[in-house]
Copies of this chain bind each other. A is one copy, B any other.
Amino acid sequence: MTAVVFTLGQLAEQLGATLRGAAHTPVSGLATLQEAGPEQLSFLANPQYRKFLAASRAAAVLLAPADADAEGYSGAALIVADPYLAYAQLSHLFDRKPKALPGVHSTALVAANAQVDASASVGAFAVIESGAQIGANVSIGAHCFIGARSVLGEGGWLAPRVTLYHDVRIGRRVVIQSGAVIGGEGFGFANQQGVWQKIAQLGGVTIGDDVEIGANTTIDRGALADTLIGNGVKLDNQIMIAHNVQIGDHTAMAGCVGISGSTTIGRNCMIAGGVGMVGHIQVCDGVFVTGMTMVTRSISEPGAYSSGTAMQPAAEWRKSAARLRHLDDLARRLQQLEKRLATASQSPVNG
Residues B318 and A323 in contact, CB atoms below 8 Å apart = no
Residues B307 and A307 in contact, CB atoms below 8 Å apart = no
Task: Tell me, rounded to whole Å, the shortest Cβ–Cβ distance linking A308 to chain B.
Answer: 5
Total identical chains:
3
Residues A294 and B297 in contact, CB atoms below 8 Å apart = no
Which chain B residues lie closer than 8 Å to A206 at the CB level?
A: none
Specify the chain B residue showing the minimal Cβ separation from A29.
B202
**Does any Cβ of B come within 8 Å of A22's Cβ?**
no
Compute how far the CA of A297 lies from the CA of B258 in the bound complex, rounded to whole angstroms. 24
Which chain B residues lie closer than 8 Å to A20 at the CB level?
A: none
Assess A202 versus B260: contact at CB under 8 Å? Given A250-B195, A327-B320, A333-B338.
no
Residues A256 and B240 in contact, CB atoms below 8 Å apart = yes
Residues B337 and A1 in contact, CB atoms below 8 Å apart = no
Cβ < 8 Å to B, chain A residues 216-237 = 216, 218, 220, 224-225, 232, 234, 236-237
**Does any Cβ of B come within 8 Å of A74's Cβ?**
no
Residues A341 and B338 in contact, CB atoms below 8 Å apart = no
Q: Mark A141-163, 1 if CB is under 8 A from B, else 0.
A: 11101011100000000011101
Residues A258 and B278 in contact, CB atoms below 8 Å apart = no
Pick from A10-18, A63-71, A309-317 the stretch touching chain B: A309-317
Which of A148, A288, A297, A328 counts the most chain B CB atoms within 10 A?
A328
Q: What are 17 sample pairs from A and B whose C-beta atoms fall under 8 A apart?
A: A31-B225, A35-B224, A35-B225, A82-B190, A98-B130, A125-B125, A147-B160, A159-B184, A175-B185, A179-B216, A181-B237, A184-B237, A187-B236, A187-B237, A236-B242, A274-B294, A316-B325
